[in-house]
Each structure stands twice: as structure tokens, then as C-alpha cells.
Amino acid sequence: MTSTSSPPDPGLHALFDSFSEFGATAGGGVHRLCGSAADGQARDLFAQVVRDLDGTVRTDAVGNQFGLLALAGRSDAPLVMLGSHLDSQPQGGRFDGTLGVASALRVGAALVRAKAAGTAYAADLCVVNWTNEEGARFRPSLLGSGTYAGHHRAEAALAIRDDDGVTLAEALAAIGQRGTDPAPALPACYLELHVEQGTVLEAAGATIGIVARNWGATKIEAAFIGAQAHTGPCPMDLRRDALLAAAYAIAEIRAIADRWPGRVHTSVGRIRVDPNSANVVPARVALSVEIRSADDSVLGEAGALADAALRAAAERARTGLSIRDRVERPIRPLPEDVCDLVALAAEETGHRAIRMDTVAGHDALSLLGACPTGLVFVPSVGGIAHNEAETTSPADMQAGLAVLLRAADRLCRAGGEPARAIRGDAR
């Protein structure tokens, strides 16, 4: 592990392609919702790969899979954790989450090999697959990692229902993934490789993104309560149309982004209409609002405008308004020493790196504050994400793996401490 650039690992592509078969869509993506049969298949492969490395798989109560690889040779060794998630959006991309898990498993294979060849490690490795990162089937997103980090109680997470009324507990049990193992203690350091899902790296001509800060997000689950009526005879001025209220809100929430061009992202991606029949005035519409910004005061102001937009829409359409949930994800820096370690690993493997923001949420943000945490991006072609056409080039996949491997190797030699890992100190 002393060469300036690691040789390519063909095993990464073979493993990645195997994961991509589970829930593969005709359009070249994957449809692998949390707790689905396809998710179960991907999880089974994850466990098999860990076992093939003589590792141990622990599955906790919310289905997080921890693949433990003993490198340090003592029972109280600190842990270096690498991973991401294997669930996808509906008709989603193959790379989102899966690239991070597959790369972490390949790092595990390399470190196990290096140990066998005589390298001395002072930390064990844990490769993790987090449950329900996407928040597509069960809300909120980042559910498995958030539970591990102590933001949610496992019982509450397991009781969350999808739109068909199935609980997370039931979905996990159906695929044999409702575990009973204790989760490992918090690691000395957590590192996650992920595709950027934006165009910043492409625009900068860089291969590695070192995430130094996350955009904050305000997520609102709102519902407009109208009155079910016949779309024919019911006079217009007596209608209380919940879908009309939602339409007013969606348009106004989009307009909020124009007040701070490029600095605020707003969206309504999900809506549920009841009874949703062509000739019935909608009685109830639930919708999911997101406001994102890297500026605290702007985020606060935009969030307040979104609240006001929801109220104004309800008033204009004469419906009720119910705010079921309102979550604020703060803007935070990622630890500088972990960023510096990734920068060193990029330099050593010959890849151009820049420091950047993440706009999207990732499991690494769940662990931020609980332990030293790093997040590494590789480019997404054209920034296409949450889309079947999402792609990262084979060369960039290898670059990401090489940086992750170099950083993990340094961390495991140094007992998991980022500062020591940079200095090259063995523990």
C-alpha cells in the first residue's frame, strides 16, 4: 500500500454489476425499494461477500447490515466504518448508494489481503449497508443510519408505514432482514463514498469531491383537508378543493427559489390525493415539501415563506391545513481532519480533488457529530441522479475506490484516528 496509485480493481465492476441485477429496470436503472424482494437479494449478496472474506455479518433491529472484518487481531480494537446503502428510489439509478457499498466491500477485500500479506493494522473494518436511506418507501430518509446514530428509536422506526400500510418491521421480516444482533459501537471514523448527483465536479474538471459542508434542509409534510364533492353539480364557490390548494402551494414554493437564484432549492416531489377520481373534488391531499440552502438565514427565511405559502394556499382554496411533520436539517461543516485525510489519499493516488458542499442528504450526515465522519464524491455524468440514466464512468469508479482504499488503509493502520492517519503514525 505504498504505491502512488493503486492498480484498477476489476472485481469492483463485477460486484457492482451483480448488485445492479437486483431490481434492474428496462431503462438501465434499478427499482429496489427498501424492504422489497430485490432489496432482500442485494442484502443477501452483501452478506455473502462479507462471509467470503471470513467476516461476520450483524443485522440490527432496523435491518442495518454490519460486515465486520477483523484486521487488528485483538478483541478491543477500534473500528473504521465504510459504507452507504443498497435501497434505491423508484425507477432509480444503479450508482446511488450501491457504489459506496460495493467499493467498501472491495476495500475490505484489499485490506484482508494486505493483512494476510503482513500489514499490521490497529483497527478492524466494518462495512455497512444502511436501511432506508432513500426515504422513498418509508419516510423519513436516512432512517437506518439515523437510528444507529441515536436520532430515532428503533421501535418508532419499525412502526413507520409505507403508503400501503405495511410497517418497516413487516417489510424487513418478509425478506428475513429484521435482525436481532447488537449494532457495533460507534466507529473511530466513518467514511462514505457516493456519487455526486450534481455537476460541480464535472464543471471543475475534478475527480474527487471532498464534502466539507452540507446544505441545510427543511422538510415539511403537509396535508390540505377539503370536502369531497361531485365535480359536476357542486357550485364552484362551495367547493373546498384540496388538490387546488396543493397546486397553489406547489407553484408558490417553486417561486421561493427564484428569490435567491442558485442559493435555494425547493421542491414538492410527492403528493397523495384522496379519493383521486376524475369526477370527485379531492377531499384530502398530502404533500412533501423540501427547502434546501447552504445559508442559515436564507434557509430560515425560505422555510418561513414555505410555511406562509401553505397557509395562503389553504385559505385561497378554503381548505384546512395540517402540518404533520416539519424537520430542519442544520447546515454543518464536516470535520477538517477527515477532509484533510481524504485530500491526502487523493493526492497519493493521483486524483484531482476539490472541497465542496453536498446538497443532498447522505448517511454520513446521520453520523456527523456522533463520530469523525467523511463523505467523498465521484462525478455523476451530466449530474443525472434519481434517474435510470444515472452514470459514473468506470475510471471515476476506480478513482473513488482508490481514494477510499488509501484513506481506509491509513485509518486502519493508525487505529482509526484521522490525525494519526494523516501523519502515518501506527497506533
Nearest approach in angstroms of CB 248 to its own copies is 6
Restricted to residues 139-158, the positions that interact with its own copies (CB under 8 A) are: 139, 141
Asked if residue 248 binds its own copies (CB under 8 A), the reply is yes
DSSP type of residue 238: G
Which of 216/372 has CB closer to its own copies?
216
Which of 122/217 has CB closer to its own copies?
217
Whole-number Å distance between alpha carbons of 356 and 349 = 19
Could you say which of 185, 251, 308, 395 contacts its own copies (CB under 8 A)? 251
Which of 275/369 has CB closer to its own copies?
275
Which of 205/262 has CB closer to its own copies?
262
Could you say which of 23, 67, 108, 282 contacts its own copies (CB under 8 A)? 282
Total residues interacting with its own copies, rule: CB under 8 A? 74
Nearest approach in angstroms of CB 266 to its own copies is 8
Could you say which of 61, 68, 122, 257 contacts its own copies (CB under 8 A)? 257
Asked if residue 281 binds its own copies (CB under 8 A), the reply is yes
Radius of gyration of the chain from its Cα atoms, rounded to whole angstroms:
23
Which of 6/288 has CB closer to its own copies?
288
Q: Which stretch binds its own copies (CB under 8 A): 1-9, 67-75, 99-107, 267-275?
A: 267-275
289 grid coordinates? 415539501
Q: What is the DSSP string of 39-63?
A: HHHHHHHHHHHHHHTT-EEEE-TT-
Which of 60/133 has CB closer to its own copies?
133
Which of 43/194 has CB closer to its own copies?
194
Residue 352: closest CA among 204, 213, 196, 211: 204
User: In sequence order, what E strands does 17-104 have?
Assistant: 56-59, 65-69, 79-85
Which of 113/254 has CB closer to its own copies?
254
Could you say which of 8, 199, 213, 355 contacts its own copies (CB under 8 A)? 199
Asked if residue 203 binds its own copies (CB under 8 A), the reply is no
Asked if residue 270 binds its own copies (CB under 8 A), the reply is yes
Q: Which residues contact 367 (CB under 8 A, 6 or more apart)?
A: 145, 148, 149, 186, 190, 373
Which of 3/277 has CB closer to its own copies?
277
Restricted to residues 59-98, the positions that interact with its own copies (CB under 8 A) are: 89-92
Q: 107-111 long-range contacts, Cβ below 8 Å, gap at least 24?
A: 107/82, 107/401, 107/404, 107/405, 107/408, 108/50, 108/53, 108/55, 108/67, 108/69, 108/82, 109/11, 109/53, 110/9, 110/405, 110/409, 111/69, 111/71, 111/405, 111/408, 111/409, 111/412
Asked if residue 359 binds its own copies (CB under 8 A), the reply is yes
Whole-number Å distance between alpha carbons of 67 and 54 = 10
Asked if residue 196 binds its own copies (CB under 8 A), the reply is yes
Nearest approach in angstroms of CB 402 to its own copies is 24
Q: Which stretch binds its own copies (CB under 8 A): 67-75, 252-260, 297-305, 391-399?
A: 252-260
Nearest approach in angstroms of CB 32 to its own copies is 13
Asked if residue 288 binds its own copies (CB under 8 A), the reply is yes
Asked if residue 387 binds its own copies (CB under 8 A), the reply is yes
User: In sequence order, what E strands does 102-246 have?
Assistant: 124-130, 189-195, 208-214, 216-225, 229-230
- 67: which strand partners? 57, 127
Asked if residue 376 binds its own copies (CB under 8 A), the reply is no
Q: Which stretch binds its own copies (CB under 8 A): 59-67, 191-199, 302-310, 368-376?
A: 191-199
Whole-number Å distance between alpha carbons of 32 and 24 = 8
Query: Is there a contact between 57 and 75 (Cβ–Cβ < 8 Å)?
Result: no
* Residue at grid coordinates 391545513: 321
378 grid coordinates? 465521484
Which of 68/136 has CB closer to its own copies?
136
Q: What is the DSSP string of 346-383?
A: HHHTT--EEEEEE-S--HHHHHBTTB-EEEEEEPPGGG
Asked if residue 383 binds its own copies (CB under 8 A), the reply is yes
* Residue at grid coordinates 427559489: 257
Could you say which of 182, 277, 327, 395 contacts its own copies (CB under 8 A)? 277
Asked if residue 197 binds its own copies (CB under 8 A), the reply is yes
Whole-number Å distance between alpha carbons of 315 and 245 = 8
DSSP type of residue 143: H
Asked if residue 3 binds its own copies (CB under 8 A), the reply is no
